[in-house]
A and B are shown apart, each in its own frame.
Chain A
């Protein structure tokens, strides 16, 4: 367990250091009992996004510990606050970031889903039109074949009648 904690602690510190211009020392708030930051980090893995956001706002120590998760926790909410302030071009790019961002952008810019719906219908109509066109071609071919048969039949009947005469 000790090795696992040390390993985990190293990765936490490495992540946090990578995010900061200057190396930071992570500390824990005064709780009873006091737990080191790497243990809090393990505990936080079990929390939902809303709970993590509340934790982040509880004290400066936990805020620093969750620094690397801020984007994941706050960005979708920021997009929601921005609403129509976000241009259509930017909204479309944000729609590609992840599922949560896509959902938020579609709520704030409902016209996007309308366009997508319209385009899907256009494509469905195109498929139906293609089928109809194929059907029309087949029917015409059948008619042409019937006509051709009728001509052949007529000719044969004529010849038979001529022969009979």
Chain B
């Protein structure tokens, strides 16, 4: 079985099958680039992902492993409304997978899924974050995501007014 070494930003190496790795658009491109530039066709590719740490990379690979037999969704499918895909693709396993994660981990997972081009994972994690935003006030969102307002003077009030115009449209 052809393998590939994927190395996280904090230096942890994961040995995974190329078949599994190629379910990520980014890893697939990297493996193909390595093949073209390498003289030895048997050489094991080594891919360093400098923007994803080990804990998150492990979760992405775990998700890929679980979904290795699913059809690969094209990155631009249903671009206008990815929510439909998430509804369809979210299994009980996915719900159990996401349940223990705090929002910090989920946010890192979204950025990782986006970087590695894993559409199914991106869909379900975005859906989770959307559910943490929908129906909440701005103060509740700031508290949940540990964010601070930096609006000055009447900037926030002006933005609220603009939002009201958009809702009326």
Chain A interface (Cβ within 8 Å of chain B)? 19, 54, 56-60, 63, 67-72, 74-75, 77-78, 81-82, 84-90, 92-102, 112, 115-116, 118-119
Contact present for A82 and B166 (CB under 8 Å)? no
Report whether A75 and B138 are in contact in the complex, using a CB–CB cutoff of 8 Å.
no
Residues of B close to A67: CB separation below 8 A: 104
How far is A98 from B145 in the complex, measured between Cα atoms in Å?
12
Contact A115 B134 (CB under 8 A): no
The listed residue (B136, B147, B150, B160) touching A75 by CB distance below 8 A is B147
Residues from chain B with a CB closer than 8 A to the CB of A84 are 79-82
A19 — which chain B residues lie within 8 A by C-beta? 146
Minimum C-beta distance from A19 to chain B (A): 8
Task: Say yes or no: B142 contacts A97, CB within 8 Å.
Answer: yes
The 3 residue pairs across chains A and B that have the minimum distance between CB atoms: A71-B146, A71-B145, A119-B165
Contact in complex: B163, A95 (CB < 8 Å)? yes
Taking a contact as CB atoms under 8 Å apart, the answer to whether A93 and B9 are in contact is no
Interface SS of A by simple majority: helix
Interface segment, one of B25-33, B40-48, B89-97, B122-130: B122-130
What are 15 A-B contacts defined by CB distance under 8 Å?
A57-B51, A69-B146, A72-B147, A77-B111, A81-B122, A82-B129, A85-B86, A88-B166, A90-B130, A93-B136, A93-B138, A94-B133, A96-B156, A115-B165, A116-B165
Shortest beta-carbon distance, B136 to chain A, in Å? 7
Q: A86-B126, A93-B136 are in contact. List 17 more A-B contacts (CB 8 A).
A: A57-B52, A60-B55, A70-B107, A70-B146, A77-B111, A78-B107, A81-B114, A85-B81, A85-B126, A85-B127, A86-B133, A89-B134, A96-B156, A97-B145, A97-B147, A100-B150, A115-B169
